[in-house]
Amino acid sequence: MDYKQQVSQAVNKAIDNEISVEDIYSKIERPKTSEMGDLAFPAFALAKVLRKAPQQIALDIVDKIEKDSFEKVVAVGPYVNFFLDKSLFSNNVIKSVLTDGSNYGANNDGKAGNVTIDMSSPNIAKPISMGHLRSTVIGNSIANILTKNGYHPIKDNHLGDWGTQFGKLITAYLKWGNEEDVKKDPINYLVKYYVKFHKLDKENPELDDIARDWFKKLENGNEEAIKLWKWFREVSIEAFDKIYDKLGVKFDTYNGEAFYNDKMQEVIDILNGKGLLSKSQGATIVDLDKYDLNPALILKSDGASLYITRDIATALYRDRTYNPAMNLYVVGSEQTYYFKQLKAVLKEMGVPSAEHLYHVPFGLITVNGKKLSTRSGRIILLDEVLNDSIEIAKKQIEEKNPSLPNKEEVANEVGVGAIVFGDLKNEKINNIDFVLEDQLRFEGETGPYVQYSHARAESILRKAGKTDFSGDESYKLNDVESWDTSKLLNDFPNIIKMACKELEPSVVAKYSLRLAKSFNKYYAHSKILADDSELNARLALVKSVSIVLKESLRLLGVKAPDAM
């Protein structure tokens, strides 16, 4: 229910339509605290039109307005403050939540339009970095939010499984590698070979020539090259999948860069046909002067394709396969310039979805102050961070609730949830430093805090022996303690829309923190289980909180255990 609309209409009527309902709607504010009112109209917005002092206008409005549907309407200086009818309001919102269940807040704005989401996209033979983790969890949450808004997301893991680095890797493996080691601990050893290559190639430039040769062989389908490449790819994906399993993230497609190898010639042909290609120092480029961008390098002087060549083929393929309403790239902000170039080239080519191509950037992440880099060898493996987090969660559960039956499972959900939530509560673009212990606190702005609040709601319901609620009963609450919680529940559908519009999971995460906080305050200040006539309504509110917290966490990709 949109109470802002109700207030706007009432004001519009009281001022004889001097300004439109929409105009009024856009000016309605929310007072800082519920004690001052639930919604406020600033009367100075009318001072010019009515040529009167705002204070007087506020008094006039209060005088004329129909007050029946409100608890009270008062003028405070230049403001008209509205107090909503708590009983009506709580009854409406609780009924909506209980009737819709986990579907509460859903809308059909997306009209089933496809949205391709390029996400995670780690590179073969390298560990998943924290940057890839951010892309994975942000992309996953954006997909959930899009679905809730009626879109149809397609999650594509655009693996970095092609490029000159495979020439280097093959060279390094054939020189220093051995099969047993790679089988034992694939990513670790493959990285070692790669790092060694980079240490030695400065003094031994012939290494680069050999590597270039191997990549050429790979592009030409040489049997040995292909065999090694396939093997590196397989063992890498196996390692990545372990992490995705832990995070509970699934993809619709794993079309890595190599998938587009046979689609590259067409790209060149189209670019050629449109007269967009030119030569520069032997290389083939697309000039982007008109966009105020550096030229895009399409083919190296030896004819080898590049990252962007494969991305052009990818966008073309997505266009034809999905006709996407949006084509999103959840990739770190260090590639912002690159995506501008990509979009510009696609526009020049006339790819229809180029207009709806959006780079969804995010900031850097460090763990305990340490940056991640594969080449320097200072690697923090994501897997280790996840395991550490689960360990800390285990200890906490052992301290707080040693008799919990499914401790292992809950520790997993809390440990992983802490990291995912710790990432998503920040606006994407911010740089974040993770101090693991902080993310795992049961109090403060953490995932475990929201999970704990949900488990508390469930535990109250267990204590009351009440699990089934029907939408037909009456759930009127008019106490001040529950009021903020009811209002927050009513905000949820708007939060869903806002998160989608901004492609910003932090909108949902921050909301869940507010709801958890207000619910815990309610829990502390009111006797929920007291045996009086409002018991059923209070329990229904608790159930509604549980449903909305769980659904918020689900949208973020975080589990909500019933007890912890």
Strand ranges (E), 100-162: 114-118, 152-156
For residue 365, the minimal CB distance to ligand ARG (Å) is: 14
For residue 376, the minimal CB distance to ligand ARG (Å) is: 16
Please count the other Cβ atoms lying within 10 Å of the Cβ belonging to residue 69. 16
For residue 364, the minimal CB distance to ligand ARG (Å) is: 13
Q: Are 3 and 490 in contact (CB under 8 A)?
A: yes
At 357, list the tokens.
Answer: 């191509």
Q: Which is nearer to ligand ARG, 123 or 520 (CB)?
A: 123
At 193, list the tokens.
Answer: 């070979």
- CA 477 to CA 90: how far, in whole Å? 6
Q: Give the number of residues written for the chain.
A: 564
Report the helix count and the strand count for the chain, using DSSP H and E.
21, 12
For residue 333, the minimal CB distance to ligand ARG (Å) is: 12
Q: Which is nearer to ligand ARG, 372 or 432 (CB)?
A: 372
Q: Which is nearer to ligand ARG, 123 or 518 (CB)?
A: 123
Residues 6+ apart with CB under 8 A from 305: 162, 219, 261, 264, 298, 299
For residue 167, the minimal CB distance to ligand ARG (Å) is: 17
For residue 534, the minimal CB distance to ligand ARG (Å) is: 54
CA 87, 89, 93, 99 torsion: positive or negative? positive
Q: Which is nearer to ligand ARG, 42 or 361 (CB)?
A: 361
Please tell me what DSSP assigns to residue 356: G
Sites of contact with ligand ARG (CB under 6 A): 118, 121-123, 158, 160, 311, 314, 329, 331
Q: Are 280 and 172 in contact (CB under 8 A)?
A: no
Q: Which is nearer to ligand ARG, 167 or 417 (CB)?
A: 167
Q: Which is nearer to ligand ARG, 38 or 118 (CB)?
A: 118
At 379, list the tokens.
Answer: 């690697």
At 61, list the tokens.
Answer: 């409005």
From residue 35, alpha-carbon distances to 39, 81, 83, 481 in Å are 11, 10, 9, 11
Q: Which is nearer to ligand ARG, 44 or 358 (CB)?
A: 358
Q: Which is nearer to ligand ARG, 24 or 315 (CB)?
A: 315
- CA 125 to CA 122: how far, in whole Å? 9
Task: Work out the burial of residue 369: count CB atoms within 10 Å of its CB; fewer than 13 is exposed, 13-18 middle, 19 or more buried.
Answer: exposed
The CA-CA-CA angle for residues 51, 52, 54, to 5°, reads 125
For residue 314, the minimal CB distance to ligand ARG (Å) is: 6
For residue 279, the minimal CB distance to ligand ARG (Å) is: 25
For residue 329, the minimal CB distance to ligand ARG (Å) is: 6
Task: Work out the burial of residue 560: count CB atoms within 10 Å of its CB; fewer than 13 is exposed, 13-18 middle, 19 or more buried.
Answer: buried
Q: Which is nearer to ligand ARG, 122 or 415 (CB)?
A: 122
State which residue has the least CB distance to ligand ARG. Answer: 160
Beta bridge partners of 123: 160
